[in-house]
Chains A and B, each alone.
Chain A
Amino acid sequence: MSSSQVWSEDSGHDGNVHATRKYAPSPRRGEGWGEGLGWPCPPLHQGTFCSDFTQKHSSSARRPLTPTLSPKGRGSDIPAMNYNFAFLDEDTKRMLRRALLKAVAIPGYQVPFGSREMPLPYGWGTGGIQVTAALLGPDDVLKVIDQGADDTTNAVNIRRFFARVAGVATTEHTADATLIQTRHRIPETSLREDQILVFQVPEPEPLRTLEPREAETRTLHALADYGLMHVKLYEDIAQYGHIATSYDYPVLVDGRFLTSPSPIPKFDNPKMDHSPALMLFGAGREKRLYAIPPYTRVESLAFEDHPFEIQRWEHQCELCGSGESYLDEVVVDDRGTRMFVCSDTDFCGQRRAEAQA
């Protein structure tokens, strides 16, 4: 067990560390406060406060807090700091799980859900985090990427969060992961049937920029009336000679629901069609989630005389030489010299390792 692992299988018959005290009965037996992941921090009135829950490993790391924290006229009724496995309480996980099952049953349809306020800001992956939290188990190996990279700060932060609140193993290797949470990319390495890809989605409604009213877009989806989008794309062609959408390029899922693939570059759209892996999408701020099941038809909108095309580069990755991956453009000096490198850092790293071997 790694040092970052904060729950332990042997610390309680139910696999959870118990809090120093149970605060109150929960509506469901065997769950709730004090269940799941508990940090054995003393109540506030004892003059200590576990303000950073990683500190629980070392009692000496508990920071004595100014005694004024102890409130007037109340003491023992303040609960100890205490979080469930994977942060969310079991009621919330069940709500998410029910919504996810409906999402899979109705491919591409946006299921409203009771999105919770997560300890990370809205717009920073709260939807993906909630979906991941509902899926995650102790046997999972989690990979988190942002812009294709494992080491971008927000990806690091989300990975750190789950390592902390669920003690799960994490990886940077696509092939080793059971769950991959992503923002803005689909890995270059083909996914397998036993992997699940979780997308962070800022705006789940593909029609939103064309029709801001939710009541209206719901009706358009009900009627499968996607004329607005076709007109928009057609106007692009009339004006620019091209469809001027390069990312978050709308797709039709199973021939029925117009769906946002999240702001992935359209380069990644073909990877969604008949993917072996299940794809789940969470939009926390907008309180919607949706799914694309494996082996499901995913078509990027196009016209007969203007077929869908993906981005191409004249360059190859200057690190691994790949000619078929999505490339980031990097400015390397103040004269504006550019170089092109793989956006998928794991893919690039693996290729370089293979080349060296």
Chain B
Amino acid sequence: MMLAAFATTVFDSQRTFRELLQAMARPAAPRALPILPPSPASIAPAAMAVLLTLCDATTSVWLQQPQEDAVEHLRFHAGLRLAERPQDADFALITDPASMPSLTSFAHGDIRYPDRSASLIIQVAAFGSSPCVQGEVGRGSLALASTQDCTTPPQPSPVNKGGSSRAMHFAGPGIRETEILAIDRLPSDFWQQRAAMSVQLPLGVDLFFVAAQQVVALPRTTRLLES
């Protein structure tokens, strides 16, 4: 049976977009997505919310694990085009980060048009970050994870099953001083890859991480600080 998509397309995608926009504008700070649409098992509902909000017949999407029910669902509800190769994709959905292709295999833009670059949606198990952001949900509630906003010192989340994640400090446009975040189960050289790409700025790829109801964006300009 075919699953439904957003119940009220116009308003659900608008509310989701506003969270994505704030996520991109305030990197490394988790935000709660307002609506989780039904989704086939292989795609997390949060990732589905992002895809339905941003993708349509004019975008090409690369699926790391193009399972039939997922493909059918996305074609039916979003009419999107699937990209054969990562480098052809406007959006890429990474459902198994541990085995994802290198970041350099995605389009990182033209020197005159750096916007012609991929956005990656990466499904992860959980985020650990500063405590004051935990459990914040709902539209308009700003995830104030900036260090100076916390009354208690930020602590990395200990909840990491099988991941080698550690709390990392980020800085860059959109971050007041620094932001602290841990992301589970990324390839061991993920951050090296990303750091290596940063010499090409403003070329680069932009990342959305999703876990449960939360989304975190890391645009190309966000720097991982040595901790």
Q: Which residues of A contact B (CB under 8 A)?
A: 13-16, 27-31, 35-36, 84-85, 90-91, 93-95, 97-107, 109, 111-112, 134-139, 178, 193-194, 196, 218-219, 221-222, 254, 256-257, 274, 278, 291, 293-297
Contact = CB atoms under 8 A, between A and B. Distances in A.
Interface of B: 5-11, 13-15, 17-18, 20-22, 24-26, 53-59, 76-79, 90, 111-115, 117, 119, 139-140, 142, 144, 172-176, 201-202, 206, 219-221
Nearest to B27: A293
A137 B25 contact: no
B220 A105 contact: yes
Contacts of B8: 13-16
A294 B25 contact: yes
Best-surrounded residue of B15, B56, B173, B202 (most CB of chain A within 10 A): B173
A13 B7 contact: yes
Contacts of A95: 58
Nearest to B115: A102
B173 A99 contact: no
Contacts of B175: 295
Overall SS of chain B's interface = loop
Contacts of B24: 101, 104-105, 293
A211 B211 CA distance: 47
A106 B173 CA distance: 9
A95 B30 CA distance: 24
A206 B124 CA distance: 41
Contacts of A104: 21, 24-25, 174, 219
A194 B219 contact: no
A84 B26 CA distance: 30
Contacts of B174: 104, 293-296
Given A107-B221, A256-B202, A278-B25, 12 more contacts: A15-B10, A84-B10, A95-B58, A97-B21, A101-B24, A107-B173, A134-B17, A139-B140, A274-B176, A293-B24, A293-B25, A297-B173
B79 A254 contact: no
16 contacts: A14-B9, A27-B79, A29-B79, A30-B6, A98-B59, A99-B115, A102-B119, A102-B206, A135-B17, A135-B21, A137-B18, A194-B140, A218-B113, A222-B111, A278-B21, A297-B173
B90 to A, nearest CB: 8
Contacts of A138: 11
A137 B21 contact: no
A187 B55 CA distance: 35
Contacts of A274: 176
